């Protein structure tokens, strides 16, 4: 608690030792800037990396079971029919597909409930897309464009033509694929599915999402066309869903595994390496924060010990006048708080300025000519609070030792001129 | 020769001794007994190492006696807790040291008011007119806003004298208050100290090497090897 006496002595001394004061504020401001800046930048990088992965795919994919023999055996163990093994072996050779899928759609929707952002049936397979002598392997996706657009935004990334309201006999392909094939809007291309079915379709839409795998290797056709190319009748090949929080995908997938007789994969499984990279990055950013805080604390303590040593005589005289040890302690802890408060304020302003400047830098894509942010920056309230909170706590704790030394000054020694 | 003053004594020392413990034990004071009446101006003299500063530190409750009793204003103050001693210093005692030890960050007036600030700010506000008047009285009326480094040594010591009176103490303790000044300044500062304390009715205990100045006190105690060698009331007429 500050009294007018302790506060006025604290402030006067800070104003009097201007050099030391500015130095200490500089240390605090620099570390606050560093903490906010580094964590915002790394946050932003992580958001960008995660978005690059998750924006172009379903967060959770639901597919027919692959390892059917054992799983089916378990599921149908009540029957105890040894023939099941044989039947299953046969099943596995068949096309993997889900018949009568509408009830499953409702089932999944009710299971995922609040976490669900979007759920779409998918009809996918491999195909070769060709134009004259050029042949390129691609992923064939049978979609209801208006639904699928919630998994990957194709519609607003159209370069030409249509995506929504794609008709039978029409396809939408990526800009890169169109260039690789040398086709433009309205040209006809040939699709040959892995099952050996062929169809000639018109390029009705060309898009450029920025996601390489989508732009360079996906062919979107209406569901019916895909079903006949894949030879699966009215069946589909799976479901894709997006969840509200991408990092909850694995939990949701785990819950679905308990309830559904399907193979279920989350993007987090598929991208384990990316995720562990992100975790390592978070760890190193926390280390930077910790060491920055530590070194700032030590610098503040060292500067304040110097200030206290220079003030020995004044401290002794104040004590002779009847100032209590507690009052002396308060004078210097107040100084620690004031220095870190001003430092934190300046550091916050500096980091905001720095982030605003970096955020305004744009980079122009060499291939598409689109402008995007050079540095991904995500300043969260959390970064801000952590930076400032650490500074204040550090300033206070770093001042405790110098303040304690000050409070222990023996006026007798001062009076004796020692 | 000993306590014979009619008013109840302000300060009583009863067989006070001080031994510094450390690698070597040093006895600095032994069997010191005397009493001081309100308003009395007492000089303590003695050769170097005779225990003058040690005695003054005990009187100022900056240190505790190894033996004996020290009674200040009827209250045993021999072995107070540090916080309690600080409170008594704040409320009852004024200090003047050989070096002025003014705080460089504060003006002359603010320095003079510092004991009141330590005790609480409302007090500083109350005492400010009195401090202004006292500073004016010691010839610093036009230098109230000056910082210590803008004042001469004699001026700084005058601020220190005024400061010692800020909290309206019962007793002012001065350790060679003029030791650092040339003789002309020393003379002036001493005269001011004597005048101001006499006007305010404060008792003063002053350590000095200067026998001429000591002669101008009401009473002189001479220490020798930590003992009271003589305790004489000045015969000279000081009631000018
Ligand atoms: N902290 C201490 N530890 C040990 N001995 C001490 C200490 N302080 C003082 N002394 C010793 O106590 C004795 C009295 O010292 P004191 O400072 O009281 O003398 P003094 O009369 O004030 O001398 P001076 O005139 O030189 O100031 C001396 O012998 C000194 O060496
Ligand atoms: Mg001495």
Residues 6+ apart with CB under 8 A from A16: B104, B105
Strand (E) or helix (H) holding B52: helix B52-59
Would B163 be classed as within a structural domain? yes
Would B30 be classed as within a structural domain? no
Q: Residue A85 — very low, low, confident or very high, per pLDDT cuts 50/70/90? A: very low
Cα separation, A376 vs B149, in Å, equals 55
Overall domain count for chain B: 1
Q: What are phi and psi of A111, to 5 degrees?
A: -75, -40
Q: In this model, does residue A260 exceed pLDDT 80? A: yes
pLDDT digits (tens, 9 = 90+) for A105-151: 899 999 888 888 899 998 999 999 999 889 999 999 999 999 899 88
Cα separation, A12 vs B201, in Å, equals 34
Cα separation, A90 vs B191, in Å, equals 121
- Cβ contact A9–B95 (<8 Å): no
Q: In this model, does residue A376 exceed pLDDT 80? A: no
Task: Specify the CATH number for the domain of residue B143.
Answer: 3.40.50.300
Q: In this model, does residue B164 exceed pLDDT 70? A: yes
Would B5 be classed as within a structural domain? no
Whether residue A286 contacts residue A390, with contact meaning beta carbons closer than 8 Å, is answered with: no
Q: Percentage of chain B with pLDDT > 70? A: 94
Say which range, A162-176, A273-287, B62-76, has the weakest mean pLDDT: A273-287
Q: What are phi and psi of A216, to 5 degrees?
A: -105, -10
The confidence score (pLDDT) of residue B100 equals 67
A313: nearest CB among B86, B101, B120: B101
Model ipTM? Answer: 0.89
Q: Is A306 helix (H, G, I), strand (E, B) or coil?
A: helix
The confidence score (pLDDT) of residue A380 equals 79
Residue of A nearest to B172 (CA): A321
Residues whose Cβ atom is located within 5 A of ion ligand 2: B 53
CA of A337 to the centre of ligand 2 (A): 39
From A17's Cα to the closest Cα of chain B, the distance in A is 9
Q: What pairing do the DSSP bridges indicate for beta strands A218-222 and A134-143?
A: parallel
Packed helices A272-310 and A312-320: angle between N→C axes, nearest 10 degrees = 70
Nearest CA to ligand 1 atom 24: B48
The confidence score (pLDDT) of residue B5 equals 47
pLDDT digits (tens, 9 = 90+) for B100-149: 689 999 999 999 999 999 988 677 788 889 999 999 988 898 999 999 99
Domain ranges of chain A: 4-54+275-416, 93-261
Would B19 be classed as within a structural domain? no
pLDDT digits (tens, 9 = 90+) for B220-240: 999 999 999 999 987 655 444
Q: In this model, does residue A418 exceed pLDDT 70? A: no
Would B86 be classed as within a structural domain? no
Taking the Cβ of residue B62 and every Cβ of chain A, the question of whether any pair is shorter than 8 Å is answered with yes
Would B186 be classed as within a structural domain? yes
The confidence score (pLDDT) of residue B79 equals 87
- Please state, in angstroms and as integers, the Cα–Cα distance from residue A318 to each residue in A315, B50, B98, following that order: 5, 27, 15
| Mean pLDDT of all residues belonging to chain B | 88
B101: nearest CB among A5, A317, A412: A317
Name residue, tokens 């955020």.
Answer: A359
The confidence score (pLDDT) of residue A66 equals 63
Cα separation, A332 vs A207, in Å, equals 65
Q: Which of B33, B29, B30, B5 is nearest to B203 (CA)?
A: B5
Q: What are phi and psi of B175, to 5 degrees?
A: -105, 105
Q: Which domain holds residue B96?
A: 39-53+92-233
- Please state, in angstroms and as integers, the Cα–Cα distance from residue A156 to each residue in A147, A160, A163, A200, A370, following that order: 14, 10, 9, 26, 14
The confidence score (pLDDT) of residue A206 equals 95
User: Distance from first CA to last CA of chain A, Å, rounded?
Assistant: 32
- Cβ contact A412–B63 (<8 Å): yes
pTM above 0.80, yes or no: no
Q: Is A65 helix (H, G, I), strand (E, B) or coil?
A: coil
Q: Is A211 helix (H, G, I), strand (E, B) or coil?
A: coil
From A24's Cα to the closest Cα of chain B, the distance in A is 19
* Whether residue B28 has its Cβ less than 6 Å from ligand 1: yes
| Mean pLDDT of all residues belonging to chain A | 86
Of A323 and A92, the structure prediction assigns the larger pLDDT to A323
Taking the Cβ of residue B117 and every Cβ of chain A, the question of whether any pair is shorter than 8 Å is answered with yes
pLDDT, mean of residues A204-227:
92
The confidence score (pLDDT) of residue A333 equals 93
pLDDT, mean of residues A377-382:
79
Give, as one character, the DSSP assignment of residue A209: -
- Cβ contact A322–B93 (<8 Å): yes
pLDDT, mean of residues A379-399:
87
Q: b/e string for A342-355 if b means 16 or more Cβ within 10 A?
A: bbbbbbbebbbebb
Would B196 be classed as within a structural domain? yes
């Amino acid at each position: 608690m500050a009294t007018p006496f302790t506060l006025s002595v604290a402030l006067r001394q800070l104003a009097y030792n201007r050099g030391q004061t500015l130095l200490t504020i500089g240390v605090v401001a620099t570390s606050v800037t560093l903490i906010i800046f580094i964590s915002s930048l790394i946050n932003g990088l992580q958001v960008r990396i995660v978005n690059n992965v998750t924006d172009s795919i379903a967060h959770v994919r639901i597919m027919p079971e692959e390892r059917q023999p054992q799983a089916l055996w378990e599921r149908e163990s009540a029957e105890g029919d040894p023939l099941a093994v044989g039947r299953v072996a046969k099943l596995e050779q068949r096309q993997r597909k889900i018949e009568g899928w509408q009830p499953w759609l409702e089932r999944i929707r009710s299971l995922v409930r609040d976490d669900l952002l979007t759920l779409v049936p998918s009809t996918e397979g491999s195909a070769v897309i060709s134009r004259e002598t050029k042949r390129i392997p691609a992923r064939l996706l049978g979609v209801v464009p208006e639904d699928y657009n919630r998994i990957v935004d194709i519609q607003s990334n159209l370069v030409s033509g249509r995506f929504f309201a794609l008709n039978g006999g029409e396809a939408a392909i990526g800009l890169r694929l169109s260039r690789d094939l040398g086709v433009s809007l309205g040209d006809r291309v040939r699709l040959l599915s892995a099952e050996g079915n062929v169809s000639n379709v018109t390029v009705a839409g060309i898009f450029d999402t920025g996601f390489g795998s989508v732009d360079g290797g996906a062919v979107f056709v209406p569901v019916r066309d895909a079903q006949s190319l894949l030879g699966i009748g009215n069946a589909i090949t799976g479901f894709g869903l997006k969840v509200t929080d991408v990092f909850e995908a694995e939990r949701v997938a785990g819950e679905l595994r308990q309830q559904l007789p399907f193979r279920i994969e989350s993007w987090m499984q598929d991208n384990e390496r990316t995720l562990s990279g992100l975790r390592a990055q978070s760890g190193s950013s926390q280390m930077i924060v910790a060491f920055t805080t530590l070194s700032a604390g030590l610098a503040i303590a060292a500067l304040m010990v110097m200030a206290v040593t220079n003030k020995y005589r004044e401290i002794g005289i104040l004590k002779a006048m009847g100032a209590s040890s507690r009052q002396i302690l308060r004078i210097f802890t107040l100084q620690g708080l004031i220095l870190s408060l001003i430092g934190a304020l300046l550091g916050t302003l500096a980091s905001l300025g720095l982030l605003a400047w970096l955020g305004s830098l744009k980079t122009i894509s060499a291939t598409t000519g689109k402008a995007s942010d050079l540095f991904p920056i995500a300043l969260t309230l959390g970064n801000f609070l952590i930076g400032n909170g650490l500074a204040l706590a550090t300033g206070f704790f770093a001042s405790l030792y110098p303040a304690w030394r000050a409070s222990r000054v023996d006026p007798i020694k001062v009076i004796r001129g020692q | 020769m000993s306590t014979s003053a009619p008013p109840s004594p302000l300060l009583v020392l009863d067989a006070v001794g001080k031994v510094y413990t450390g690698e070597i034990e040093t006895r600095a004071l032994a069997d010191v007994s005397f009493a001081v009446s309100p308003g009395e101006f007492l000089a303590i003299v003695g050769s170097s190492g005779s225990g003058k500063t040690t005695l003054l530190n005990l009187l100022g409750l900056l240190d505790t006696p190894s033996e004996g009793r020290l009674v200040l204003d009827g209250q045993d103050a021999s072995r107070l807790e540090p916080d309690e001693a600080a409170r008594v210093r704040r409320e009852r005692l004024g200090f003047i040291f050989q070096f002025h030890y003014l705080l460089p960050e504060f003006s002359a007036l603010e320095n003079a008011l510092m004991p009141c600030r330590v005790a609480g700010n409302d007090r500083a506000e109350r005492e400010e007119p009195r401090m202004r008047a006292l500073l004016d009285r010691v010839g610093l009326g036009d230098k109230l806003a000056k910082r210590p480094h803008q004042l001469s040594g004699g001026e700084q010591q005058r601020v220190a004298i005024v400061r010692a009176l800020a909290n309206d103490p019962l007793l002012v303790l001065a350790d060679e208050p003029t030791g650092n000044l040339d003789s002309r300044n020393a003379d002036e500062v001493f005269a001011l100290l004597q005048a101001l304390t006499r006007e305010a009715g404060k008792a003063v205990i002053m350590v000095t090497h200067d026998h001429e100045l000591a002669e101008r006190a009401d009473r002189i105690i001479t220490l020798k090897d930590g003992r009271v060698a003589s305790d004489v009331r000045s015969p000279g007429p000081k009631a000018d």
